[in-house]
Amino acid sequence: MTITTRFATQGDEQSLHDLAARTFGLACPPGTAQADIDAFVAAHLSVESFGRYLADPGRILLLVSVDDHPVGYSMLVGGPIGDPDVARVVDAATSIELSKFYLAPERHGGGAAAELMTGTLHAAAKTGAATCWLGVNQRNERAARFYAKHGFEVVGVKRFRVGSEWHDDHIRQRGLSSVHG
């Protein structure tokens, strides 16, 4: 089994969308309506959306593959912070957001997520950012353990809307000075 991480490029839109459609619901708390998950994917994680993300110089997308088959992706986003709860605890001038980090469920625990995180943190560090931050649902214990293992500490809370439901997220942040590459 060979695990590789690479930057996503034009032409990867369908693979990214397929992964998003399979994995976005994993980040939502139990009880989130499937219709709300589907609507979020259609609005924000469509093939067309990924086309825009890949063309945006403020975004960096990475794909992790096992034996040349894409199994996960991440997306870093630089620039201003639109959420006032995040802006209170994260310095927009020195940080980059880890906006998306998803792995196919059948690949959990197999090393692909760690490989993707390593590549993502190296890409974040290369932007010159001092810190990387993310939002993760407070009830997503598996993700919380993974992010803590990779140095992300809770620095605040925010809300995230999926459909008509508001969800409570932790804001997690880590420094990038120890990341080399």
Can you tell me the mean pLDDT for 7-19?
97
Q: For helices 47-55 and 13-23, what crossing angle results, to 10°? A: 120
The Cα angle at residue 4 between residues 152 and 174, in degrees rounded to 5: 10
Closest CA to 66 of 6, 117, 9, 13: 6
The CA distance from 160 to 40, in Å, is: 12
Instruction: Provide the 8-state DSSP code for 151.
Output: T
Average pLDDT, rounded, for the chain: 93
Contacts of 56 (CB under 8 A, 6+ apart): none
Q: What is the pLDDT of residues 29-70, one digit of tens each?
A: 878 889 999 999 999 999 999 999 999 999 999 999 999 999
- Mean pLDDT, rounded, for 72-80: 96
13-23 vs 34-44: helix axis angle to the nearest 10? 160
pLDDT value for 181: 53
How far apart are the C-alpha atoms of 176 and 113, rounded to whole Å?
18
pLDDT tens-digit map of 58-69: 999 999 999 999
